[in-house]
Amino acid sequence: MIVERRVELRFGLASREAGTHTNLSAVRQDGRCLWVAGDETATIERLTAVLDADGLVTGYEGHTTVALADLVDLPAGPDEEADIEGLARSNGWLWAIGSHSLKRKKIKPGQTGSKARKRLASVVREDNRFVLARLPLATGADGLPEVVREDGDRTAAVLGLRGDSVTDLLQDDPHLAPFLSIPSKDNGIDIEGIAAHRDRLYIGLRGPVLRGWAVLVEIRPDTHPGDPRRLRPLPVGDGRALYRTHFLDLGGLGIRDLCPQGDDLLILTGPSMDLDGPARVHRWPGIAGVDAPEVVPAEQLPLLGDVPYGDGDDHPEGLAVLDGLHGEGARLMVVHDSPSPERLTAGGGVLADVVRLPE
């Protein structure tokens, strides 16, 4: 896929100091605005398009940030990162999901011998990573969308406070349960994408990849009848199962992000391990509905194109369909984790790629 142009995303000082602009993991369009998130904080960011005389976007600024803990309860409190890896928007809600992953400590630069071995043997669980939040979208005084704690009878709610996270649903799963105790970068459980369509959430896993097959989990969350600030999963499809798994032949790559387009699902792929590229975008046509197949061969997942990536940097992490403000025809925006120095602007912003979506 050819990058048509780049647009600058301009962040405020606090977010730049927190490194949010260099750790982007998710993006969604909302009219003139973008919702974005980084994987090193527990916040959600909103940016607003700057338009030229022809009504086309020249960049995004007017940055505002909201702490997830101001909207929902977090199991580890407001100061621990949530490792937000996916955002979705549907029916007046914004969804945010953590990676639900364990973390193996890295060897620090210059460390050798016993200290290095000890760090590699240390696996950490951070409870805020194991949440799924549903946030009401409202229209603010400036006419722009905002996420709020309450909007009439709609209340921000969370799944993952009481042993009821997405991964808790998988404790007895024959395919995924063995990977629950494995850190994410070791091909363990690692959520990195989410898409909302109708009453379903489609959750993409960067890992595990099972003999070359990527995994997508489908759930149907709703308000808990005993507490409007909590969610519960409802049965999916026929029977009483609270989730469905789908196995996708994506050429041995894992899922880095998901984005709906009509009844289709666009899938950004990349390595499951801590490696550079390849990165590609596939289309899963007509996924919407209870009859989506559980095993999807490569010929049913047409490749839209390869996405540029860097050597040690420029890791494509977030994907959004852009409609209406970037010229005729749909475009895709791709945001990156670990951006290269060439992507960082003098004003403290970062450049995102805009590519034309093949018809």
Burial 26-63 (b: 16+ CB within 10 A, else e): bbbbbebbbbbbbbbbbbbbbbbbbeeeeeebebbbeb
State the Cα angle at 13 between 95 and 315, rounded to 5°.
Answer: 55
Q: Which parts of the chain register pLDDT below 50?
A: none
177, 192 contact by CB (below 8 A) = no
What distance in Å separates the CA atoms of residue 200 and residue 224, rounded to the nearest whole number?
16
pLDDT at residue 290, rounded to an integer? 61
* Token code pair at residue 329: 């025809």
Reported as half-sphere exposure (CB side, CA atoms, 13 A), residue 276 has a value of 10
- The pLDDT assigned to 221 comes to 97
**Domains, the chain, ranges and CATH?**
3-328 (2.120.10)
What is the per-residue pLDDT for 289? 62
Distance CA 91, CA 263 (A): 15
Token pair listed for 242: 């609270």
Confidence (pLDDT) at 273: 84
The separation between CA 84 and the C-alpha centre of its own chain, rounded to angstroms, equals 7
**pLDDT tens, position by position, 284-341:** 999 866 678 899 999 999 999 999 999 999 999 999 999 888 877 889 999 999 999 9
What is residue 201's three-state secondary structure? strand
- Spatial contact of 320 and 352, defined as CB atoms under 8 Å apart: no
Tell me how far apart the alpha carbons of residues 319 and 196 are, in angstroms, rounded to a whole number: 14
**Residue 144 Ramachandran class (φ > 0 left, ψ -120 to 50 alpha, else beta):** beta
pLDDT of the residue at 327: 78
Which region holds residue 206: left if phi is over 0, alpha if psi is between -120 and 50, else beta? Answer: alpha
The b/e string for 111-135 (b: 16+ C-beta within 10 A; e otherwise) is eeeeeeeeeeeeeeebbbbbbbbbb
